[in-house]
């Protein structure tokens, strides 16, 4: 269960980083989503 939450958080973080390649805002968004994903653990 915890692993699933971690994978979900990392997945959203990767999506945010992908957008970050096109936009600085996307990078910031990705970082926050990854942080929230980790806190969700």
Q: Round to whole Å and give the CA distance between 18 and 32.
A: 14
Residue % of the chain over a pLDDT of 90? 0
pLDDT of residue 25: 60
- The yes-or-no verdict on residue 11 having pLDDT over 60 is yes
3-state SS class at 7: helix
pTM summary value: 0.36
The stretch 20-32 carries a mean pLDDT of 65
The stretch 14-39 carries a mean pLDDT of 69
Half-sphere exposure of 38 (CA within 13 A, CB side): 7
pLDDT of residue 34: 75
3-state SS class at 40: coil
């Amino acid at each position: 269960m915890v692993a699933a939450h971690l994978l979900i958080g990392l997945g959203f973080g990767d999506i945010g980083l992908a957008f970050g390649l096109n936009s600085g805002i996307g990078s910031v968004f990705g970082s926050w989503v990854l942080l929230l994903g980790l806190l969700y653990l």
